[in-house]
Amino acid sequence: IQLTQSPSSVSASVGDTLTITCRASQDVRSWVAWYQQKPGEAPRVLIYAASSLHSGVPSRFSGSGSGTEFTLTIYNLQPEDFATYYCQQADSFPLTLGGGTRVEIK
């Protein structure tokens, strides 16, 4: 299953609302997670099961979707949110991740 993220990179300002899309090449039901990775750090999970917020993750992060189209929305973008974001499907093996979306400061 291929996961296509868009955009691949985006410039945004503090306070903006940002939406990242992840499209699956076939139905993955709701088995999608989203990860954030900052330079030099391991990834951390933000959203699992398409829309469930992982413990400790700020509520400005929101996930939605099912089937083949999923979105990660970040409301009121904060300086610490500038990072790279990945979607990942856990519906079937081989597990796959999207190519990533780099969020930069405008």
Partner 1 sequence: EVQLVESGGDLVQPGGSLRLSCVASGFTFSAYEMNWVRQAPGKGLEWVSYIGTNERSIYYADSVKGRFTTSRDNAKKSLYLQMNSLRAEDTALYYCARVSSGWDLWGQGTVVSVSS
Does the protein bind partner 1 through residue 93 (CB under 8 A)? Answer: yes
Give the nearest distance from C-beta 12 to partner 1 in angstroms.
20
Name all contacts of 88-93 with Cβ < 8 Å and 24+ positions apart: 88/3, 88/32, 88/33, 88/34, 88/35, 89/1, 89/3, 89/24, 89/28, 89/31, 89/32, 90/28, 90/31, 90/32, 90/33, 91/1, 91/27, 91/28, 91/29, 91/31, 92/1, 92/28
Which stretch, 14-22, 48-56, 65-73, 74-82, contacts partner 1 (CB under 8 A)? 48-56
Interface residues toward partner 1, by CB under 8 A: 33, 35, 37, 42-45, 47-49, 52, 54-55, 84, 86, 88, 90, 93-100
